Amino acid sequence: MNLPNGYPLQNGKYRLTHVVGQGGFGITYKGVWYTEVKGPLGTIKTEVPICVKEYFFKDYCYRDPDSFAVKVHSETGRALFEKFKEKLIKEAKILSDVHHPHIVNVLEVFEENDTAYIAMEYISGNSLKYKMDKEGIMPEARVLRYMRQIGEALQFVHEKNILHLDIKPSNILIDQAGKARLIDFGVSKRYDIEQQETSTTMLTLSKGFASIEQYDNEGTQSFSPCPDIYSLGATMYNLLTGKIPTESILRAARPLPSPRDLNPSISAKTEAAIIKAMEIVPADRFQSMSEMLAALDFPEVEEEEIKKDISSPEYFEEDETTILFTTRLPQSGKDEGDETVLNNVDIPAVSKKKKRKVTLISLLIIIFASIGSAVALLVQRSKAVPPVAEVLNSVPEGNNNPVSDSTVPVVIDENNTSGVVEAEPETESESKKESTGVRPDSQEKKIVKPETTPKQTDPVKQKVEPVVNDIKQPVTAPSVPTEAEMNAEFEALIASGKNKMAASDASSNAADFIKATEEIADAGTDFSKAAKIKMTDELISLIEKRKVKEEEILLAGRKALYDEVKPFGELMIVQKKETQKFGAIDASAKECIKCRYLVAYKTQQGYMAFLREDELFDIYDAEGTMISEGLSGYY
């Protein structure tokens, strides 16, 4: 399915080295970009490491083994494949114009092999998810530092009417300077001046990090930073507690545990910001990224911590940094090596007198080091040699040399002394006694060994190298399933997926709703496995039906957050279960009138009067538009 290592793209402009990841919609490769750098010394050819993403919709596609072109199984699949490919290309071209210090750069978008490719800046490093899995819960100051940087990046893209829509720890990398980099705009959306959606990608989301409006296409038709704000709050929650937040769509049945209940060291102000960012209703969240950043207390020693991380040897040993571009820079009089240029810093000139002094000190250090090495070598030779044992092959009779050429040395576990003979410095007379099997009583040791294996008397080697006997082992060919077996597995997966779809009927009962979401998700897993075997029209139809049913279940889940009171035009007056406040939702369960009122009354003119907590009324029409605010009464 993958392109082979070394595969060229764009007539040799790029070369793929190996696969670094793959998912349902694409394959990611590490590669090399052959380019030229112009400078004072002229034009220098160089190789720049890059990352290349190939659009490969695995549920609908396969790769031609001869041409490596991406093919589609059926005409139905082709229509979907082409539709999403066009959107991916359009979105990537938009992002190629977005440049920010905390966003990975898109270098080029192109088509080849009947599919689309995105060449991006390569970041060789660890994501926040990897760091958290390795180190555990992160300190609050460090999390705030990273979130400030990602928040600034999101503020930048929001100003360009772009939503990321997939913010999570695995999509945030850390570079060599300890700075966060936002990656993977694969499901992002862009909006026009009127804040209406102009481009979109597949309806995909990351459970636990996606806002409730992302579960419905209509929820993100108009631009709002609220989905990204929710996801950034969920990312903070995950990094500071070590727990993935409860899915937004399930929070009516499974309340979100308080961050400080899971980690008491979190400050009250940070917890309040997380909770507000993760409000279910978008209107209850921060309304801009700048508002969210203003609600957080960032550490004053931020720059000092970064410098400390860079100068600390452990920082590099723990593989916490990311090298962005490492380019060979030729320098006269010096060995060429990989360097990362951070800043252009003027280095003060050193006087010749100072240079001579430095040279003298260096020579003295070398002399003392040489003397120390010689002394250490003499001491090492005079010390007793550590115990080592060797397993010897049987020696035929008449062989005076107890060590044959076929000896296989093996280092024995120090805790297991069975069959181990300590090697000691021996005199000539002791060697003769050893050859006859006689030892003085004062040096008698227990020796467990086969009679045919004499004791080694050669000096003990400082370095023991294992020798592997060239013994041909029988090779068992991997079993390849027959076509009949593959067809049987395919039919079993189809049947399993159908049964799970049938069992996923949603209910008003919270437990049934949770079970329905799990069943419909498992059905999708079965269909994806079946698609790896083969793609049929029946399977394509089932995949589409599953998506429709999943949207129905999610809609039922959103409606389960409210108690319906009475219809109001195209809207429904509801009471939110969590707060017991009144408002109105539309057919997609989106709050058109925010649920913040104590009660709702119908006026003589056919409007709805909602009573506020300050005992004043807000008047709304049947389209959810406020026509009067803060009235002392209504008619």
Task: Give the CATH number, domain containing residue 168.
Answer: 1.10.510.10
Question: What's the pLDDT at 50?
Answer: 93
3 has pLDDT over 90: yes
Query: What pLDDT band is residue 154 in, cutting at 50, 70 and 90?
Result: very high
- 120 forms bridges with which residues in the sheet? 51, 106
Question: CA–CA separation, 432 vs 426, rounded Å?
Answer: 10
Residue 625 sits in a domain of what CATH number?
Answer: 2.40.10
* Residue 578, in any domain of the structure: yes
Of the candidates 469, 467, 528, the one whose C-alpha atom is nearest the C-alpha of residue 493 is 528
In the structure encoding, which two tokens stand for residue 501, read together?
């779809």
Query: What pLDDT band is residue 331 in, cutting at 50, 70 and 90?
Result: very low
**pTM of this prediction?**
0.52
Question: What's the pLDDT at 585?
Answer: 95
pLDDT mean across residues, the chain = 75
Domain boundary among 122, 137, 156: 122
Domain boundary among 122, 140, 171: 122
Q: Are residues 57 and 202 in the same domain?
A: no
Q: Are residues 75 and 147 in the same domain?
A: no
Q: Are residues 40 and 81 in the same domain?
A: yes
**Residue 593 lies in domain:** 562-631
Of the candidates 245, 232, 208, the one whose C-alpha atom is nearest the C-alpha of residue 151 is 232
Q: Are residues 249 and 115 in the same domain?
A: no
* Residue 606, in any domain of the structure: yes
**Least confident span in 477-481, 533-537, 567-571:** 477-481
Q: Are residues 487 and 589 in the same domain?
A: no
For residue 183, count other CB atoms closer than 10 A to its CB. Answer: 18
Question: CA–CA separation, 97 vs 159, rounded Å?
Answer: 14
Q: Are residues 264 and 185 in the same domain?
A: yes
Q: What is the pLDDT of residues 430-453, one digit of tens each?
A: 444 444 444 444 444 444 444 444
* Residue 372, in any domain of the structure: no
12 has pLDDT over 90: yes
Residue 72 sits in a domain of what CATH number?
Answer: 3.30.200.20
* Residue 382, in any domain of the structure: no
Q: Are residues 33 and 163 in the same domain?
A: no
146 has pLDDT over 50: yes
* Residue 191, in any domain of the structure: yes
* Residue 320, in any domain of the structure: yes
Pick the more confident residue, 39 or 141: 141
Q: Are residues 547 and 594 in the same domain?
A: no
* Count of domains observed in the chain: 4
Tell me the average pLDDT across 582-591.
93
* Residue 521, in any domain of the structure: yes
Can you point out the beta strands (E) in 403-556? 408-409
CB 610 within 8 A of CB 618: yes
In the structure encoding, which two tokens stand for residue 169, read together?
């720890």
Q: What is the pLDDT of residues 225-277, one digit of tens each?
A: 999 999 999 999 999 999 999 999 888 888 999 999 999 999 999 999 999 99
Q: Are residues 69 and 162 in the same domain?
A: no
Q: Are residues 95 and 173 in the same domain?
A: no
Q: Are residues 207 and 116 in the same domain?
A: no
* Residue 181, in any domain of the structure: yes
- CA 333 from centroid of its chain's CA atoms: 42
Domain boundary among 57, 89, 122: 122
Question: What's the pLDDT at 364?
Answer: 53
Q: Are residues 580 and 607 in the same domain?
A: yes
Distances (CA, A) of 318 to 124, 132, 321, 326, 531: 14, 13, 8, 19, 40
Residue in this structure with the two tokens 């219809």, named with its chain if needed: 567
